[in-house]
Amino acid sequence: MESSLTTTSCTISFAISCINGELMKTQFLNTDAAFALRVKQLQDKLYDQMETAMAQFGLKIPSKTSGIVQLLFSEGPRSKADIARELDYSHQLAAQRLSWLLKHGMVEMQADAADKRRQFAVLTQAGRHEAETLQRFLPKLSDAYASLFAEMNLDLNAVIESANSALISIPITERSDFAEPQHAVTSDADA
């Protein structure tokens, strides 16, 4: 009988902990502390929906490579370092996205005539075709974003640019005291 009672107590205790844990999780997600998580979720949703829209429009490139294709189309050949700098990507991210474009014949790497060690990404004929299709797609994407911003009664693009500038000016680490409070350690001799 005692075993059954103990099991029931533990089950009830576990259920309450789970409920409290869920409440704590929900409370966290509703705080400003979860802001970066919500921004990431929005970013993922935007890329997923943009991917679908691009496919419906007949584009073959993934949405995450469209910035590189647009840069190469509008500005001409660029090195990996140039792409990373101009799109504010890490070098690794620029290399990963270029890798997809290379693998699928959208870009090719050409040696710099002045410095054979330096290579430039150049759109291939297939890449130029995708870029030209992208030019017809982008105004439709702008219209979709304008519709979203109007629905929200907020220019989200301006807000994001403002937030980015504010974080460059004063980083998160300077906006709060992130030093962990030091706890006094007592030894057995002190007790």
How many percent of the chain have pLDDT more than 90? 69
| Sign of the Cα pseudo-torsion (130, 131, 132, 138, in order) | positive
The predicted model gives 108-134 an average pLDDT of: 93
What are the beta bridge partners of residue 120? 110
Q: Are the C-beta atoms of residues 79 and 95 closer than 8 Å to each other?
A: no
- For 120-147, letters b (16+ CB in 10 Å) and e give bbebeeebeebbebbeebeeebeeeeee
The CATH T-level fold of domain 33-171 is Arc Repressor Mutant, subunit A (1.10.10)
Question: Residue 24: its pLDDT value, please?
Answer: 55
For the stretch 168-183, pLDDT in tens is 999 999 999 888 888 7
Residue 143 has pLDDT above 70, yes or no: yes
Question: Is residue 1 over pLDDT 70?
Answer: no
pLDDT at 3 over 80: no
For residues 32 and 26, the answer to whether their CB atoms sit within 8 Å is no
Phi, psi of 171 (to 5 degrees): -65, 160
